Amino acid sequence: MENKRIIIAGVGGQGILLASDLLSDAAMRAGFDVKKSEVHGMSQRGGDVVSHIVFGEKVYSPLISYNEADVILAFEQIESLRNIDFLKDDGVMIINTTKILPLPVAAGLMDYPEDPIGEVKKFIKKTYVVDAEKIAKELGNIKVMNVVLLGFLSKNIKEIEKKYWDESLKERLPEKVFEINFKAFNRGYNLEEK
C-alpha cells in the first residue's frame, strides 16, 4: 500500500488538532505507521491551523508537498482554497460550509471570496460539501462539528475499518462527551456524498 496523505485545515478553535489526533490514533490501531505535523501559529487569534497526517507501512516524514495529498478536509471554506495546491489531481476535497471571517475581512480591509466552494469545484472533480455546523446544532452542541467532519472523512479512508475509529473515539474522548461525539461521528459517517 502506498502511504496515505491527509491534510486537515481550518481556523483556531474548530477542533482540528483533536480530529487529527483521532485520525492518527485510528490509523495506528489499524496497524499503520503514522506521522503527524501541525502548524498552529496564531490559532488563538482566529488564524489558520493545518495538520498533515501520513500513514502507511513505513512513513519517514509527516510533511506533505504540493500535489501529494490524497484528501484535504477543510473545516472552513477559504481553507479549501488556501490548501488546494497540496491535493493530488485525483484527490478528494471535503469542505465544511462554515464561513469564519479572517481578521482583514472582519476589519473591512479585504473581501471574503464570493464562492470559495464553486472555485474549488472548477478544479477538483471529487469535491464534497458538508454542512457539519447544521448537524452539530441538531445534536445540541456546535463543538462536535469537527467529529461530524471526521466521520464523513472516514468514508474516504478505506484502509481504516470503522471499528478502529470507534475504538479511538472511546479511548481518546472523556466519558462525559463520548456519547454526543459518537453520535456526531456516525451522523457524518452516514451522510450521503454530494
pLDDT at 128 exceeding the cut of 60: yes
User: How confident is the prediction for the chain on average, in pLDDT?
Assistant: 93
pLDDT at 179 exceeding the cut of 80: yes
What is the arithmetic mean of pLDDT over 120-129? Answer: 96
Judge whether 85 and 67 are in contact, CB under 8 Å: yes
Query: Which residues in the chain belong to E strands, given as ranges?
Result: 4-11, 33-39, 48-56, 69-74, 87-96, 126-130
Q: Measured between alpha carbons, how far is 72 from 70 in angstroms, rounded to an integer?
A: 7
What's the confidence (pLDDT) of residue 147?
97
What is the arithmetic mean of pLDDT over 83-97? Answer: 97
Q: Measured between alpha carbons, how far is 142 from 115 in angstroms, rounded to an integer?
A: 24
Q: How confident is residue 57, by pLDDT bands cut at 50, 70 and 90?
A: very high
DSSP letter at 43?
G
Question: pLDDT tens, 154-163?
Answer: 998 999 999 9
What's the pTM value of the predicted model, to 2 decimals? 0.93
What's the confidence (pLDDT) of residue 103?
76
pLDDT at 182 exceeding the cut of 90: yes
What is the arithmetic mean of pLDDT over 73-86? Answer: 96
Residue 126: burial class (beta carbons within 10 Å; 0-12, 13-18, 19+):
middle
Q: Measured between alpha carbons, how far is 187 from 161 in angstroms, rounded to an integer?
A: 17
Directed axis angle between helix 162-172 and helix 175-189, to 10°?
Answer: 160
CA 68 from centre of chain: 16
Question: pLDDT tens, 6-46?
Answer: 999 998 888 899 999 999 999 999 999 999 998 865 545 56
Task: Determine how β-strand 33-39 pairs with β-strand 87-96.
Answer: unpaired
Q: Amino acid identity, residue 63?
A: L
| Secondary-structure percent of the chain, ordered helix, strand, coil, rounded to 5 | 45, 25, 30
Angle at 34 between CA 164 and CA 145, to 5 degrees: 55
For residue 78, the tally of other CB atoms under 10 A from its CB is: 21
The domain 4-189 having CATH identifier 3.40.920.10: the answer here is yes
pLDDT at 106 exceeding the cut of 90: no
Directed axis angle between helix 16-29 and helix 145-154, to 10°?
Answer: 40
Q: Show me where the domains of the chain are located.
A: 4-189
Question: pLDDT tens, 131-176?
Answer: 999 999 999 999 999 999 999 999 989 999 999 999 999 999 999 9
